[in-house]
Amino acid sequence: MNVQELPISAIDQSGRLRAVDPDYVALLASSIEDHGLRQPIEVRKTGRNKYALVSGCHRLNAAILLQHESILANVVEADDLQAQLLEIDENLFRRELSPLDRATFLARRKEVYEELHPETKQGGDRKSDQTDKLVRLIPTFTEATAEKLGLDARTIRRSVARHTNIPTDVREKISGTWLADSGSQLDALAALAPDMQRAVADFVAQWPGVRQVKEIVRQISNRPREPKAGKLEKFLAFFRKCDSDERQAIVEYAAEQMPAVAFEAAWDKASDYNKRSIVDLIAPSLPGFAVSEAA
Per the DSSP assignment, residues forming a β-bridge with 75 are: 43
Alpha helices in the chain (DSSP H): 22-35, 57-65, 80-94, 99-116, 129-137, 141-149, 153-165, 168-174, 183-190, 194-206, 213-221, 231-241, 244-257, 259-269, 272-282, 289-294
The model's pTM is: 0.58
3-class secondary structure, 4: strand
pLDDT tens track, the chain, 295 positions: 799 999 999 999 988 877 788 888 998 999 999 999 999 999 999 998 999 999 889 999 999 999 999 999 999 988 888 888 888 887 787 657 889 988 998 898 888 888 887 876 765 554 544 444 444 446 788 888 888 778 788 888 999 999 999 999 999 999 989 999 999 999 999 999 999 999 999 999 999 999 999 999 999 998 888 777 677 778 778 888 889 888 888 877 877 776 777 667 777 777 887 777 767 766 666 566 554 444 4
Question: Which sequence spans correspond to the domains of the chain?
Answer: 3-84, 98-165, 167-226, 231-280
123: left (phi over 0), alpha (psi -120 to 50) or beta: left
DSSP 220: H
What amino acid is encoded at 188 in this protein? Answer: A
* Cα separation values, 233 from 125, 236, 239, 246, 251, Å: 53, 5, 10, 18, 17
Can you give the pLDDT at residue 234? 81
CATH assignment of 3-84, among 3.90.1300.10, 3.30.70.2080, 3.60.21.70, 3.90.1530.10: 3.90.1530.10
Can you give the pLDDT at residue 87? 80
Per the DSSP assignment, residues forming a β-bridge with 226 are: none
